[in-house]
């Protein structure tokens, strides 16, 4: 159509009938050849025009987005100190359990030492909720010198590592929930509008930085 348009005179053929319009240079025949046979349109292929684009199958997609009972979302894994200051954090899909993500979250902790040496990663103890109830996890963390304080579920009848004196520290877990409440004050984090995980992670780190500066 773009190549045949200059061949049509605008002033002479604008109000002409279709029969007269196709006589001089057989415009009607050429247009019929361009259209091709009738039938279902073929599938469009992806060419170079979509270079450097992120294609998602549907809404609320992207990396680290998983399904839950309430819908889709991204899980925040945060380790805080006694004052609620974030020490390490990781973003993951909402589908896997916290037991499978806690060790990778601990690797994000980097506390500088007073003198020379590598930053500290292993805290002395971790106070967590019932979602972290796992004896194999307690054993793995114990080898690294970390004590996991987490209550047992009612369905778990074997309380091998239960100690009532150490479980008194579980009352301090409200400080972790307070940090999550601080993070939820940032509207950019409550609802994930960014498909790119790097962009959402940047806003997450900015929120943790603001919370840290407030506690100084």
Overall average pLDDT of the 151-179 stretch: 79
Specify the pLDDT at position 27: 52
59-70 pLDDT, tens per residue?
556 787 877 777
Give the start-end residues of each E strand in 37-188: 66-67, 72-80, 86-93, 125-127, 147-149
75-81, long-range: CB within 8 Å, 24+ apart, which pairs? 75/101, 76/180, 76/183, 76/204, 77/101, 77/102, 77/104, 77/105, 78/105, 78/176, 78/179, 78/180, 78/183, 78/208, 79/105, 79/106, 79/108, 79/109, 79/123, 79/126, 80/175, 80/176, 80/179
What are 84's two structure tokens?
């609620």
Is the pLDDT confidence value at 11 over 50?
Answer: no
pTM of the model: 0.65
Mapped onto helix, strand or coil, the DSSP state of residue 123 is coil
The domain made up of 66-214 has a fold known as Nucleotidyltransferase; domain 5 (3.30.420)
More confident residue, 137 or 159: 137
User: Beta strand 147-149 with 125-127: parallel, antiparallel or unpaired?
Assistant: parallel
Question: Domains of the chain: which residue ranges?
Answer: 66-214
Mean pLDDT on 161-173: 78
Q: Which residue has the tokens 């939820």?
A: 184
**Mean pLDDT, the chain, whole residue set:** 76
């Amino acid at each position: 159509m773009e190549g045949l348009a200059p061949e049509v005179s605008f002033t002479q053929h604008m109000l002409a009938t279709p029969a007269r319009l196709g006589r001089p240079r057989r415009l009607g025949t050429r247009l019929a050849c361009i259209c091709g046979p009738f039938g279902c349109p073929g599938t469009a292929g992806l060419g170079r025009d979509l270079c450097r684009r992120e294609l998602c199958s549907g809404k609320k997609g992207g990396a680290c987005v998983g399904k839950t009972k309430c819908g889709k979302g991204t899980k925040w894994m945060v380790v805080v100190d006694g004052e609620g200051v974030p020490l390490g954090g990781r973003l993951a899909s909402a589908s896997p359990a916290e037991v499978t993500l806690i060790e990778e979250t601990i690797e994000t902790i980097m506390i500088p030492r007073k003198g020379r040496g590598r930053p500290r990663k292993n805290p002395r103890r971790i106070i967590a909720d019932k979602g972290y109830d796992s004896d194999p996890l307690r054993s793995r963390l114990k080898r690294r010198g970390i004590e996991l304080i987490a209550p047992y579920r009612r369905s778990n009848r074997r309380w091998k590592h239960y100690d009532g004196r150490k479980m008194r520290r579980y009352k301090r877990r409200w400080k972790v929930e307070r940090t999550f409440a601080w993070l939820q004050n940032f509207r950019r984090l409550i609802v994930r509008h960014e498909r790119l995980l790097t962009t959402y992670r940047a806003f997450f780190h900015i929120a943790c930085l603001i919370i840290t500066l407030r506690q100084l």
